[in-house]
Amino acid sequence: MSWQELQIVLDTAEVPRAEALLGLAGATAITLASAGGEALLEPLPGETPMWHSVVLRALFPPAIPLSAVAANLQLALALQTGISVRTLSDEEWKGTWERRPRSQRIGKRLLLTAADENVSATERAVVRLNLGLAFGTGEHPTTALCLEWLDAELQTGTRIIDYGCGSGVLAIAALRLGATCGWAVDIDSQALTASRANARLNQVEERLWIGTPEELPAVEVDIVVANILAGTLGDLVGLFGDCIRPGGHLVLSGILESQTDDLRRSYDDQFGPFTMRRKDGWVLLSAPRR
């Protein structure tokens, strides 16, 4: 298995947004370096180094199509310079891969593990994932925040929409925790393929609808969870308001702390009061439907 590296030179002002986009696209690790080669490993979201420009390198698993990631990043950041991608040698990626956890305990009820991991008998709800097949392995803080919320709050019999589903991990976790049915939505065909594969792996495919936003039927659910960028979340107020029953819950992640106030104001007419959870500079906002 060969890892991939994406490299780009950026002005420091663009680093937080690029880091957020790459994290949500499935980057396993990100490093920043000055022109002189001084490295800053795994910067916190929202932090930028003091250099005028930086070399950003992002490490990706082999199944993620880096050409599509690069094209989306080029467009989102309106970049004038190119983005280079390459396949790494075994020696270059081995250490990073071996440090990656194969199983993760989430809260009191969930256990995330690799598809081929031998898991002994456990009282936890087990979610198996094809690691690296698409965005969302449970390791990124935004995904972890959502999983922790589901572990603590989801009730048996819930109906849920996972909007921006990536690997489908949130919808699948909800079903394993007792949700009766779910809808997994994404604009990316690779994400939909990964969600279908992971749904079959966890034997929940009969209870999980998977498709694009345009294909999503008119449904009313108890929970909408959306782990996507804040700018996109701000455009979805009407849709989420229509989908969530009165008293149901909205769960938003992929948000930097500096973006929380504006996002809450966008949703205040239909949702509140909001509860906030934080992890490594990222924020999850949750609130009931008024």
> Would you state the pLDDT for residue 130?
72
Starting at the earlier edge strand, list the strands of the sheet with 39-41.
39-41, 29-33, 53-60, 4-11, 84-87
Q: What is the pLDDT of residue 33?
A: 72
Give the pTM.
0.70
Distance CA 263, CA 227 (A): 13
Q: Which CATH class is domain 101-288?
A: alpha beta
Query: Distance between CA atoms of 16 and 1, rounded to whole angstroms?
Result: 30
Cβ neighbours, 10 Å, residue 261: 9
pLDDT band (50, 70, 90) for residue 93: low
Whether omega for the bond prior to residue 273 falls within 30 degrees of 0, making it cis, is yes
Domain span(s) for CATH 3.30.70 in the chain: 4-98
- Reported as a pLDDT band with limits 50, 70 and 90, residue 137 is low
Q: What is the mean pLDDT of residues 140-155?
A: 93
Q: What is the mean pLDDT of residues 208-218?
A: 97
Model confidence at 232: pLDDT above 50: yes
The per-residue pLDDT for 50 is 44
Assess whether pLDDT exceeds 70 at residue 226: yes
For the domain spanning 4-98, the CATH number is 3.30.70
Backbone conformation region of residue 164, classed left if phi is above 0, alpha if psi is from -120 to 50, else beta: left
Let me know: does 8 contact 81? Beta carbons within 8 Å. Answer: yes
Q: Give the tens place of pLDDT for each residue, 13-44.
A: 787 788 778 877 877 777 777 645 544 444 44
Pair 54, 12: CB distance under 8 Å = yes
Q: Distance between CA atoms of 40 and 160, rounded to whole angstroms?
A: 39
Cα–Cα distance, 199 to 235 (Å, whole number): 28
- 247 Cβ partners below 8 Å, 6+ apart? 288, 289
When the pLDDT of each residue in the chain is averaged and rounded to a whole number, the result is: 85
Q: Which residues contact 132 (CB under 8 A, 6 or more apart)?
A: 26, 28, 60, 61, 62, 63, 64
Residue of 81 and 269 predicted with greater confidence? 269
DSSP state of 213: G
Residue in 259, 184, 251 with CA at minimum distance from that of residue 222: 251
- Output the pLDDT for position 219: 97
- Express each pLDDT in 233-264 by its tens digit: 999 999 999 999 999 999 999 898 889 999 99
Numbered ranges of CATH 3.40.50.150 in the chain: 101-288
- Whether the CB-CB separation of 112 and 140 falls below 8 Å is answered with no
